[in-house]
Amino acid sequence: MNGQDPPTHVAQTLISAYRATHYCVTAVDEPFVMRIDERSDDLAVCHRTHSVTCSAFLTAYNPHSQPTAQAENDAAQERLEHVLREAGYRWLEGLGIDPSGDWPAEPSLLVMGMGLDDARAIGTRFAQNGFIWAASDSVPRLVMLR
């Protein structure tokens, strides 16, 4: 795509894919999966454990959902971690897994205590179409940026 918004049918296909994705938090004793619009007791435990009321699940992989070379994706993810570290955020590693297998798993980060505005800014900075954000209700919600 050329930097413009995708055509409506493409956007709906992407949204459907994002909604079907399994958002896995792997860097915990018992890894767990978050699903869009479904309360996660495991996420609530993470929020309590880290003394936060919100979190964002972010990646720098495949900007604008365009397949990108592994080396570029890895470098972008390292930049994301650097930005988060500089801002003082803590995170848990995870994976965004496409259950259909059409896309390879995307390394992701569950960023503890990241507010919605900061998550939007980071997602935009790393050219993402959207991200997952959860408030104190521990319900992961899809937030589209484009």
Burial class (CB in 10 A: 0-12, 13-18, 19+), 138: buried
**Each residue of 80-126: pLDDT tens digit?**
999 999 999 999 999 999 999 988 999 999 999 999 999 999 999 99
Mean pLDDT score, 60-73: 96
pLDDT at 2 over 60: no
**Each residue of 21-54: pLDDT tens digit?**
999 999 999 999 999 999 999 999 999 999 999 9
H-assigned helices in the chain: 8-20, 41-49, 70-86, 116-125
pLDDT band at 4 (very low <50, low <70, confident <90, very high): low
Domain boundaries, given as residue ranges, for the chain:
8-144
Tell me how far apart the alpha carbons of residues 26 and 45 are, in angstroms, rounded to a whole number: 14
- In order of 53, 54, 78, 137, the CA distances from 44 in angstroms are 9, 9, 27, 8
pLDDT band at 1 (very low <50, low <70, confident <90, very high): very low
Tell me the residue type at 130.
G
pLDDT band at 63 (very low <50, low <70, confident <90, very high): very high
C-alpha closest to that of 73 among 34, 108, 124: 108
Residues 6+ apart with CB under 8 A from 42: 25, 28, 30, 32, 34
pLDDT band at 60 (very low <50, low <70, confident <90, very high): very high
